[in-house]
């Protein structure tokens, strides 16, 4: 193409202007180019920037593992994204993003929620990157970031030679444990876990990072000590009073497979009157239908911790041992944190459901007989069910019910009907339905024999009256605090306040 034949847009404009001038009509004005359409940033790109590249979407290699809850009953509930949270400010920005896009979310530490409240079809805020733990020897206090798991707390306290009221499962999140109260073998000595809280930090719906203590944001500080996780904001840290570890601790596991009713009656009698340095968990159950057909009795298991010598502990159990000799006995004196390893529950992912009720007295003989007969009729095939009792009372009952949001201050035992499925049973809806119906019937037995309330850290989606059962007389104050700090109900799930 010749230069003469080459025509450009600029050539047309210049040539046109010259021709117009020659004709006496003045230069032509170039029209402004149309404005480029505004670029609307993709919502996921925006969230990725907020999370500094840590956002996990379904295409991410780590997504499947990170999206998986510990309770595999809720495995099919998959989020659109998992957000690893690293700072309170990042959490505030993520909450703003959720509000901008009306995106549902769930908070997750260990992911053990019995009712699946740590799962979401929107996004999951994964707190585990925030796992710093710092012990201050001068004050005897430990500051635990909300994403720390129990195992990390154990290791930090082991190094410091200190202890708190803590649970048995190493993969449970510290935040979930503390926000619902927190039970463990030390609660009869030191109160529930939340009773040792002296300060905390939380990000509320308005994006504020609030410091809570007995002298600052006192209503909210009251609410988080037993009000349950995920109701008022995203807790980011907890500061607790600690205690020196015991110099001598006895732990024990005893199992009776014969004369179990007689042994259970004697066991409840002697432990119910036991000193508060005794912590115990008594379980009935573990018989499958195949074993029941062979006439096997429902096993009785005692798991115990005693702040004293082995000889003192065995003397305490003498009335039980006189009634029935255990089929299995393991009683050891150990250093405190080695003893906790003995008591540990692994907490591997699985299919489970639990229903709880507090008891003002030890189970009666009629209660035990009725429950034992029901346990023999468990309809699961390869899975197991049990009725177990955590010993409460002692120091945890010396705090007034209205002093913290944890209202359950008049119990002696916490009864729990537990069901665990294996993978084969979990894949058969008819087996799961039958097991749930069986479990509900046994829960009715517990309530008929004095069960009242329910433990908010064992959320139960089947409860119709969960507000009264979890929070009792403290509900009205909790609702007022909720309305003040979360007026638009950003923090919402099926059993949120």
Q: For residue 29, is pLDDT > 70?
A: no
Q: For residue 342, is pLDDT > 50?
A: yes
Closest by alpha carbon to 490, among 82, 91, 156, 11? 91
Share of the chain above pLDDT 90, in %: 84
Closest by alpha carbon to 72, among 386, 347, 469, 373? 347
Average pLDDT, the chain: 90
Q: pLDDT band at 208, cuts 50/70/90?
A: very high
Q: pLDDT band at 346, cuts 50/70/90?
A: confident
Whether the Cβ atoms of residue 220 and residue 485 lie closer than 8 Å to each other: yes
Q: For residue 394, is pLDDT > 60?
A: yes
Q: CA-CA distance, 130 to 148, in Å (whole number)? A: 7
CA 242 to chain centre: 22
Own/partner pairs for 345-348, CB < 8 Å, 24+ apart? 345/168, 345/169, 346/169, 346/170, 347/70, 347/110, 347/112, 347/169, 347/170, 347/171, 347/172
Whether the Cβ atoms of residue 329 and residue 236 lie closer than 8 Å to each other: no
Looking at residue 378, its pLDDT comes to 80
Closest by alpha carbon to 220, among 482, 474, 406? 482
| Residue of higher predicted confidence among 284 and 21 | 284
Looking at residue 444, its pLDDT comes to 97
Q: For residue 290, is pLDDT > 70?
A: no
Q: CA-CA distance, 406 to 121, in Å (whole number)? A: 30
pTM to 2 decimal places: 0.89
Q: CA-CA distance, 334 to 251, in Å (whole number)? A: 8
Tell me the backbone φ, ψ of residue 311, rounded to 5 degrees.
-65, -40
């Amino acid at each position: 193409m010749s230069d003469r034949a080459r025509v450009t847009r600029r050539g047309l404009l210049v040539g046109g202007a010259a021709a117009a001038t020659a004709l006496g009509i003045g230069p032509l004005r170039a029209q402004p180019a149309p404005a480029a359409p505004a670029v609307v940033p993709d919502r996921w790109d925006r969230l990725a920037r907020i999370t500094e590249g840590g956002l996990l979407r379904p295409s991410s290699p780590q997504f499947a593992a990170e999206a998986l809850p510990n309770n595999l009953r809720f495995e099919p509930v998959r989020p659109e994204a998992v957000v690893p949270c690293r700072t309170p400010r990042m959490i505030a920005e993520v909450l703003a993003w959720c509000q901008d896009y009306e995106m549902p979310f769930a908070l997750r530490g260990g992911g053990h929620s019995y009712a699946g409240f740590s799962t979401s079809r929107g996004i999951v805020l994964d707190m585990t990157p925030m796992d710093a733990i710092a012990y201050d020897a001068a004050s005897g206090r430990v500051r635990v970031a909300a994403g720390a798991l129990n195992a990390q707390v154990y290791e930090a306290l082991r190094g410091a030679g200190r202890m708190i009221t803590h649970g048995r499962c190493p993969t449970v999140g510290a935040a979930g444990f503390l926000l619902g109260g927190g039970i463990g073998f030390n609660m009869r000595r030191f109160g529930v876990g939340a009773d040792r809280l002296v300060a905390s930090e939380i990000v509320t719906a308005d994006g504020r990072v609030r410091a809570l203590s007995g002298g600052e944001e006192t209503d909210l500080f009251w609410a988080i000590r037993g009000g349950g996780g995920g109701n008022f904001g995203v807790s980011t840290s907890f500061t607790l009073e600690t205690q020196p570890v015991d110099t001598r601790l006895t732990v024990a596991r005893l199992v009776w497979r014969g004369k179990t009713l007689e042994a259970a009656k004697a066991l409840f009698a002697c432990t119910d009157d036991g000193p508060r340095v005794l912590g115990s968990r008594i379980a009935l159950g573990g018989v499958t239908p195949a074993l029941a057909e062979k006439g096997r009795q429902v096993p009785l298991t005692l798991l115990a911790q005693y702040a004293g010598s082995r000889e003192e502990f065995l003397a305490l159990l003498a009335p039980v041992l006189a009634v029935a000799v255990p089929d299995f006995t393991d009683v050891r004196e150990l250093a405190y944190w080695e003893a906790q390893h003995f008591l540990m529950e692994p907490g591997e992912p699985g299919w489970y459901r639990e229903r709880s009720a507090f008891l003002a007295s030890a189970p009666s003989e009629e209660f035990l007989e009725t429950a034992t007969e029901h346990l023999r009729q468990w309809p699961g095939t390869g899975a197991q069910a049990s009725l177990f009792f955590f010993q409460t009372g002692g120091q945890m009952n010396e705090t007034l019910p209205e002093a913290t949001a944890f209202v359950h201050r008049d119990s002696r035992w916490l009864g729990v009907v537990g069901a665990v499925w294996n993978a084969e049973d979990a894949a058969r809806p008819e087996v799961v339905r039958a097991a749930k119906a069986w479990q509900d019937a046994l829960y009715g037995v517990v309530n008929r024999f004095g069960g009242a309330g329910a433990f908010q850290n064992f959320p139960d989606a089947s409860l119709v009256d969960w507000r009264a059962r979890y929070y009792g007389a403290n509900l009205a104050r909790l609702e007022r605090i909720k309305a003040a700090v979360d007026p638009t109900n950003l923090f919402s799930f099926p059993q949120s306040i």
